[in-house]
Structure 1
């Protein structure tokens, strides 16, 4: 039986596994971290469930203290496939329950369907198809399951200190045909205390993760005329899919406003509509104090100008990886202080200081402290490398589509390997729904992805006669 036919016969098992994994809410939960569950009980459950599945399918498995785990087959040098089981918070705007794994119009909906539970399980069933076909391998194939990819990579730092590091491999966590270059990633935190309590801005809160374009922003005001605020909301020119609403009367003179935008991955801020920035643009039109206006102006002028760092004059670009991107991912303001976090993806031929030093000058000018809370260096594997060419051949042979390699702003576990690339699962021309409401993966595509991964494994880890 051909390998592709064998994968087709596993369709029900693959779909059921993806659904079961999606139904586990594996969002990081530091408040309930414990031994064996460093990122909370939901993530531990997802890891343990997937490792049990791997064992049931006949593979060797290992749980590395709850930080990560792996599922392995074969012998020889090590090929790594690096997926992850943690997910970003679900956010608002879903048409189905976000952890229901609802099937509708041939698609499996749910947080993690595309990022990254579906593709990780596609890699597992690709290994299963090769095992069942009894095709001999000349390398070990190890599916590594991370659990903190969306937050800070503490999982991979721990795992790679404890376990063998694959020399080469791929992360099933981005796009097809293949990503050979990944921009550097910086998360920068700005903080500032106010000398006295702000008179009108009680709080502004928007965003949960730096790497997500905020789709909701909540504002509480005081000391302003409610009717005037309501009239200003009616007159404000919000773009399509963005709105602001005045909620029921709060205690005393306080009033609550909810602004809704469009979420997107933080590496592609131009694909979203940042609810925080639209909230600030509206607030700037109200009769606020000079300090409140100055605070809003700083954000709107610097992180709020453009998507590519124009406000800080760091709109860098290069030939291998394109332009820098900048996302205002988190804003927390109270009457006493302000904190906001930026997600910046910089081109592969630049370094940390090319980005941070200009921003430091702006922060100091505005009276803000600046801290680098996360940094991943840029990563680049040449297009003519054996790894890139082997994977592109698998993609072309299985799909019949044009093979090519390109760069992205997203950061994947490929950066953890000396030779690592990102490989699937989003096919060219498909909508980008990672980190969005109604995230999904189509059943046809998860089967096709499984077939591509199976052929990729054969191209790298089997004798030539089986490729």
Structure 2
């Protein structure tokens, strides 16, 4: 029986497994850590569940102290497939419960459906199809299950201090056909204490993660008449998909506003509508004092200006990977302090300091403290490499679609390998729903992705006579 036919017979099992994994809320929770659960019990449960499924299939499995685990088959040199089961917070705006794994219109909805539980399980079922077909491999195929991909990669740091590093492999955590270059990622925190408390801005809070375009921003004001705020809000022009809502509390004499935008992955800020930016643009129309206006002006002029770092003078670009991107992911502003976190994806031919130094100069001039929260260097595997060409062939042989390799701003576990690339699961021309409300994976795509991964494993790791 051909592998694709074998995978078709596993369709219901693949769907059920994907649903079961999505239904485990595996968001990082630093308040819930314990031995064997360094990122919280939800993530630990999802890791143990996935490893248990691999063990049920007859593979060798290992849990590395809750930081990561792996599922392995075959003998010889090591081929790595690096997925993850942690997810970003669900956020607002869902039409179905975010951990229900609801099926409608031929799609599985849920946080992690596309990023990265569905694709990781597709790789596992691809391995199962090869095992069930008794195909001989000349490499070990190891599916590595990460648990901190969305936050800081502490999982991979720990795992690869304990376990062998595959020399080649792929991450099922981005787009097809093949992503051969990934921009550098820099998360920066800017903070400042106000000399005197703000008279009108009590609180502005937007965003949960640097790598998500914020879809909600909450504002609390005082000392400005309700009628003034309400009239300004009525007069303000929001783009489609963005809104502002005013509430009033007589007992506290405070105006509370909620601004809603459109979420997106932080590497693609142009695909979202940042609620923080629109909240600050509105606030700038109010009768605030000079210090309040200056703070808003700094944020809107620098991190809030453009999608490509224009506000900091770092709109860099190159041929292999395109333009730099910048996302204002978090803003915490109170009457006496301001803290913001930005996500920058810089082109592969540039270095960290090409980005950091211009921002540092502006921060020092404006008396902001600047702190590096996270940095991953850029990563690049030549298009003509055997790895890239083998994966492109698998993609085309299964789908009949045009093969090509390209670059992205997102950072995947491919960067953890000497020769690693990102490979699926989103197909060309499809909507980008990673990190968005109503994240989903089409069931047909889930099956097709499983077939592509099975063929990719054969191209890279099977004996020629077995292919």
CA distance in 1, matches of 2:251, 2:201: 15
SS of the residue corresponding to residue 180 of structure 2 reads strand
Aligned residue number for residue 461 of structure 1: 461
- Per-residue deviation, residues 34-65 of structure 1 (Å, max 9, x unmatched): 11000001000000000101100110100000
The 8 Å contact of residues 248 and 254 in structure 2, kept in 1 or not, is answered as: no
Aligned residue number for residue 190 of structure 2: 190
CA distance in 1, matches of 2:305, 2:123: 40
Aligned residue number for residue 261 of structure 1: 261
Aligned residue number for residue 307 of structure 1: 307
1:391 aligns with 2:391: yes
Aligned residue number for residue 120 of structure 1: 120
- Per-residue deviation, residues 430-460 of structure 1 (Å, max 9, x unmatched): 0000000000000000000000000000000
CA distance in 1, matches of 2:238, 2:138: 59
CA distance in 1, matches of 2:5, 2:136: 19
> What does residue range 202-241 of structure 1 map to in structure 2 within 5 Å?
202-241=202-241
CA distance in 2, matches of 1:418, 1:247: 54
Number of residue pairs matched by the alignment? 467
CA distance in 2, matches of 1:390, 1:240: 43
SS of the residue corresponding to residue 394 of structure 2 reads helix
Aligned residue number for residue 243 of structure 2: 243
SS of the residue corresponding to residue 8 of structure 2 reads helix
Aligned residue number for residue 351 of structure 1: 351
What 5-or-longer segments of structure 2 have no aligned partner?
none
Q: Normalized against structure 1, the TM-score is what? A: 0.99
SS of the residue corresponding to residue 116 of structure 1 reads helix
SS of the residue corresponding to residue 441 of structure 1 reads strand
CA distance in 1, matches of 2:252, 2:434: 41
Aligned residue number for residue 131 of structure 1: 131
The 8 Å contact of residues 284 and 296 in structure 2, kept in 1 or not, is answered as: yes
Shift of 1:205: 0.3
Aligned residue number for residue 439 of structure 1: 439
Aligned residue number for residue 163 of structure 1: 163
The 8 Å contact of residues 226 and 248 in structure 2, kept in 1 or not, is answered as: no
Aligned residue number for residue 65 of structure 2: 65
CA distance in 1, matches of 2:47, 2:96: 24
The 8 Å contact of residues 31 and 40 in structure 2, kept in 1 or not, is answered as: yes
- Flag the 1:337–1:457 CA change in 2: closer, same or farther, 3 A: same
The 8 Å contact of residues 250 and 256 in structure 1, kept in 2 or not, is answered as: no
> What does residue range 384-423 of structure 1 map to in structure 2 within 5 Å?
384-423=384-423
Shift of 1:386: 0.4
SS of the residue corresponding to residue 15 of structure 1 reads helix
Aligned residue number for residue 93 of structure 1: 93
SS of the residue corresponding to residue 350 of structure 1 reads coil
Shift of 1:17: 0.2
CA distance in 1, matches of 2:452, 2:154: 30
- Per-residue deviation, residues 260-312 of structure 1 (Å, max 9, x unmatched): 00000000000000000000000000000100000000000001111000111
The 8 Å contact of residues 75 and 139 in structure 2, kept in 1 or not, is answered as: yes
What 5-or-longer segments of structure 1 have no aligned partner?
none
Shift of 1:251: 3.6
CA distance in 1, matches of 2:2, 2:368: 62
SS of the residue corresponding to residue 287 of structure 1 reads coil
Aligned residue number for residue 144 of structure 1: 144
Aligned residue number for residue 178 of structure 1: 178
Shift of 1:364: 0.7
Shift of 1:248: 3.8
The 8 Å contact of residues 119 and 173 in structure 2, kept in 1 or not, is answered as: yes
Aligned residue number for residue 200 of structure 1: 200
Runs of 4+ in 1 over 3 A off after TM superposition: none
- Per-residue deviation, residues 193-238 of structure 1 (Å, max 9, x unmatched): 0111110000000000000000000000001001110111111000
Deviates most, 251-260 or 49-58: 251-260
The 8 Å contact of residues 363 and 370 in structure 1, kept in 2 or not, is answered as: yes
Q: Normalized against structure 2, the TM-score is what? A: 0.99
1:102 aligns with 2:126: no
Aligned residue number for residue 276 of structure 1: 276
Aligned residue number for residue 32 of structure 2: 32
Shift of 1:250: 5.7
Aligned residue number for residue 14 of structure 2: 14
